[in-house]
A and B are shown apart, each in its own frame.
Chain A
Amino acid sequence: MTGAFFSELLKLRRRGLLLGGGGLLLGFTALFTVLGIERASKTPGNGRGFHVSVAELSRPDGLVRGISHAGTLMGIVMLGIFAAAFGAEYTTGALRNLLVREPRRVHFLVGKYLALLVFAVVVVALACVVSVVLAFALAPSKGIDTSAWTSSTGLADTWRAVWHLLVASLGYGTIGAALAIIFRSPVAALAIGVAWLLPAEAILSNLWTNGQDWLPGQLLSNLTSGGSASVSLTRTTITLVAYWAVVSIGTAALFSRRDVAN
């Protein structure tokens, strides 16, 4: 497992991925943070999108508004990164080389997954740092009071938001990895993942009253926004962990049993 972990880290240390995937994540976070602050108005917002007021941003949780808004898009990028990392093994044919060197397939899978988790944690943490720095830098120009951000409540809210964003990103990444293994293609995984998480779930949640309680994309979105009135954070977390366990076990079983014939 350690071999798979370190070899995947070696693979992740390449300029294209760091500048592309990492840059995209940092860019989204920065964009949402800047837009959130620059479009803040003196009048109260409706609580949706970027229409937040200066008063709302001055609250303890105001610091992480940008991060929370970027959650879904960051998740989609993470889905793409995980899907590319797992799917490329099939499309390049490298998987047969890799499994000759590490025939214990579950070890290989877990090591690779853990390396990607480390990558995700580092990138999400960096994105959060960028967001926080930008928020503090831009807040005075809009008259936003930042004193609440550094209060104990503010720090707790910030930590919680970062944690939720991180867990949600890993959730999106896990979906990407599972789809890539099932379909043996990064493109198919990305296309199916995005189509399901965005339009398909949006339609389903309109048709199905309890859709927000069960649909994975809705639950992940709910996690990044810190829970909602209809679905508690605890229930969201428990459901997502159950999904993660089922997906992980099922994918590992498929990967370990399926022939590598390409």
Chain B
Amino acid sequence: MHPPRSLPRRGAPPMIGTAGATDLAVRTEGLTKHYGSRAVVDAIDLELPRGVVSGFVGPNGAGKTTTLRMLLGLIRPSDGTGEVLGAPITHPASYLSRVGALIEAPAFYPTISGKRNLEILASLGRHDRRRVDALLVQVGLQGRGGDSFKSYSLGMKQRLGIAAALLPQPELLVLDEPTNGLDPAGIREVRALLRELADDGMTVVVSSHLLGEIQTICDHLVVIDDGKLRFQGPVEGLMSAQRAEVIATPEHAADLPRLADICAAADHLARIDGDAVHAVAPAEWAAELNRTAMAAGITLAGLAVSRGTLEDAFFAITDNEGHQILAHAPDGGGTA
């Protein structure tokens, strides 16, 4: 689905235009937003493919929501250009009828019922108001549509927000923290819904702090930090960019130092942790370690490969201060 792209060295210019314009739901070049002298979004070049679930990840204040707001015509960019569904972001009226969005917390009129709130939006966007009931069922709010919005729990408000975003039967669905406040069952339902929508051809953009959630539901990933684009590409691209760890457990603890020496001799950084040796090495090297250890008279009671999580990958790209710390990135299929 995604052509593999190699990670350039740190400081190298981001790769732009590697996919055809028609394959992209969103494309920006140098998209920038300044508030005073501070760049909240700093020259971002986005490429979000059509028909997939793209995840927007970044720490608080990274610029995710500001970027999404610029794509939705709510905020005027200070600089740069962009296209959404092939139309320029300077003319949001030309594409927003094909876009559904839930930005930040779901915001509706508190004293009006959930159903009436949706009808107001449907009327405003000249959408079919008869879809409202079906949407309430789709998001699990059947039977509660007549209740005032202020009486809803956070999870119910979130569901109403998703229903509102689905009103225009969008080609592009933009959801900012869609599982916020949902219980585990609700989170699972939303994941399934997003997957189903993407499988039906809808492009979905999800912003979230929950890296596990992003890893579960997203095909494509965008990492933004300190207003800058740190990575974009397939999720597996970022994951494979993470060096695997080979974990070997000898039968006898006394063999741990010799096992660590074997790893070091093969130029793999190793440390002894508990009853095992952890070596930073490609997964394929595990078999060679097994052979070498056996030849040295060390019997392995356990041998495993840990590839790391998206969280590991995320923190490899950003640190807590939002600075890029990935000094060298192995081939992985993405731009950073």
Contact = CB atoms under 8 A, between A and B. Distances in A.
A48 interface: no
B76 interface: yes
B105 interface: yes
B123 A10 contact: yes
Contacts of A142: none
Interface string A5-16: 011001100101
A92 to B, nearest CB: 6
Given A7-B120, A103-B93, A94 B72 contact: no
Given A14-B112, A259-B76, A102 B124 contact: yes
Nearest to B75: A259
Contacts of A101: 96, 121, 124-125, 127, 167-168
Interface string B120-162: 1101111100000000000000000000000000000000000
B120 A10 contact: yes
Given A3-B126, A260-B69, A94 B107 contact: yes
B31 to A, nearest CB: 14
B119 interface: yes
A259 B123 contact: no
Interface residues on B, range: 20 to 34
Contacts of A3: 123-126
A93 to B, nearest CB: 3
A100 B123 contact: no
Q: Which secondary structure dominates chain B's binding surface?
A: loop
Interface in A210-262: 257, 259-261
B96 A97 contact: no
A14 B111 CA distance: 9
A66 B285 CA distance: 94
A102 B121 CA distance: 9
A184 B282 CA distance: 57
B109 A100 contact: no
Given A96-B103, A96-B107, A103 B73 contact: yes
B46 interface: no
Contacts of A108: 124
B102 to A, nearest CB: 8
Contacts, number: 84
A92 B110 contact: yes
Interface in A96-142: 96-104, 108
A7 B124 contact: yes
Contacts of B93: 103-104
Interface residues of A, number: 28
A88 interface: yes
A40 interface: no
A4 B124 contact: yes
A212 B93 CA distance: 44
Given A14-B111, A14-B112, A96 B74 contact: yes
Contact of B73 (A88, A98, A99): A99
A258 to B, nearest CB: 9
Interface string B63-104: 000100100111110000000000000001100100101011
Interface of B: 66, 69, 72-76, 92-93, 96, 99, 101, 103-105, 107-112, 116, 119-121, 123-127, 164, 167-168
Q: Which 10 A-B pairs rank lowest in CB-CB distance, beginning with the nearest?
A: A93-B107, A101-B125, A7-B124, A7-B123, A103-B92, A260-B74, A259-B75, A103-B93, A101-B124, A7-B120
24 contacts: A2-B126, A3-B123, A3-B124, A6-B123, A10-B119, A10-B120, A11-B120, A14-B112, A14-B116, A94-B108, A95-B107, A96-B104, A97-B101, A97-B108, A100-B96, A100-B99, A101-B121, A101-B124, A101-B125, A102-B124, A259-B76, A260-B74, A260-B75, A261-B66
